[in-house]
Amino acid sequence: MKPTLLDNKGVPLERQKFTWRDLVQKPISKLDDDAYTRVRIILMNGIELEAHRFSHSAARMNKALQLPLAQIRRVEQHQATLINWLIGADHSPLETTIGYEQVAIDITAAVAMNEPDKYLAQVYRFGLLEDFDHMYRYSALLDRLEGKDANNILQSYTDILPGRPTIEEHRAPQDDLRRPYDRTKAAPLTKLHALTIMAAEQQTHNFYMNIGPMYSDPVARQLYAEIASIEEQHVTQYESIIDPEESWLEKWVMHELAEVYNYHGCMQQEVNPRIKAIWERFLDYELGHLHAALELFKEHERRDPAEILPETLPDPIPIASQREFVRETLAAEVDLCANGTEIVPKAQEGKASLAYRKEMNADGSPSETISAGYKWAPGSELKLKVA
């Protein structure tokens, strides 16, 4: 049964407790757990980190909200820790990267398929084909640097193919901004989609910025530098689709709602019972956060929560293989570009982006170098060479 948001108050904040032992639970098995369990872990870590990032920004701009923000943020800190620490240490940073790109592909594809706003669905498909290409480049790096098969992580759910070439994804900032949804008219699902994808992209950006310098190999260092730059563009794109006219408190409520929505979706779809129990526990915590934020919304803005909340949660984002949708999108839209806020055919791309790209690629392209002549094959490309 879908939670009725205004009736189910979840666990009150004062009962949301942790210990250090509780924060560090047994990690999942890289080999035995389903790839989408890892995808859910990465996604929910991103959702929590975005909530955290927003909360700090809000605190800097709203003196009256600093204490309640700090109280909820402390819990979210520990939720994010518990979730992120579920990734086992036998994942190399590059293998975890493959997991991050699987999130970016299959979650964004599911969002694009179900997004009611046609323009925003186009924006998601546009971003999707870029992350799809990153998977191909990182898979080449994993094979050619560590001698490993990315499909051990992907478990055959997600293709490893070139998408919109990363070398062509670099564009001027004015071509990364999109039109925002209208907060007064957009469907709740539209708002939840936007927050979810923005959260996933910002954590991916942060992750690449942190692990890029951990590699000794100059090719790997360059590839992470290049793709981190695209992830920064993606964060810019996805935060621009969120209506900037929402008040701080409205945005806070929507962040809490996005957490409720995604924990609920993860709980419904999780196949590992131990991890499912974590999603259930944190869904109850987030309902508590949502109601705390709603009380502040009513107190400070004198507005009715029904103005911004749906009665019940929309259907969850399906977390599953979207291979056919991605292949269809690839065939139809790989050559699209951006000009201002619009997604346009290649011939209409803005001059600023062309100039910026020429400048950045002047000394060569790491994403082209790492994948020169590369075709994924089961086990390794070396298998094709032996044959």
Residues that bind other proteins in the complex, under the rule CB under 8 A: 27, 29-37, 88-90, 136, 144, 151-153, 155-157, 159-162, 165, 216-219, 222, 271-273, 320, 323, 364, 366, 368-378, 384
* Euclidean distance between CA atoms 1 and 384, whole angstroms: 50
Shortest CA distance to 10 belongs to which of 251, 291, 312?
A: 291
Find the shortest distance in angstroms from Cβ 299 to other proteins: 44
Minimum CB distance to other proteins smaller for 345 or for 378: 378
Residues 114 and 317: beta-carbon distance below 8 Å: yes
338: β partners: 343
Find the shortest distance in angstroms from Cβ 294 to other proteins: 35
Cα-based angle 168, 128, 193 (whole degrees, multiple of 5): 135
* Euclidean distance between CA atoms 14 and 214, whole angstroms: 39
Minimum CB distance to other proteins smaller for 136 or for 297: 136
Minimum CB distance to other proteins smaller for 19 or for 216: 216
Can you tell me whether residue 336 is helix, strand or coil? coil
* Euclidean distance between CA atoms 289 and 5, whole angstroms: 12
Tokens of 64: 């009256």
Residues 151 and 376: beta-carbon distance below 8 Å: yes
Minimum CB distance to other proteins smaller for 154 or for 198: 154
Find the shortest distance in angstroms from Cβ 94 to other proteins: 14
Find the shortest distance in angstroms from Cβ 355 to other proteins: 23
Minimum CB distance to other proteins smaller for 243 or for 333: 333
Find the shortest distance in angstroms from Cβ 11 to other proteins: 26
Minimum CB distance to other proteins smaller for 243 or for 368: 368
* Euclidean distance between CA atoms 278 and 283, whole angstroms: 8
Residues 237 and 123: beta-carbon distance below 8 Å: yes
Find the shortest distance in angstroms from Cβ 371 to other proteins: 6
Find the shortest distance in angstroms from Cβ 34 to other proteins: 6
* Euclidean distance between CA atoms 267 and 316, whole angstroms: 10
Minimum CB distance to other proteins smaller for 122 or for 152: 152
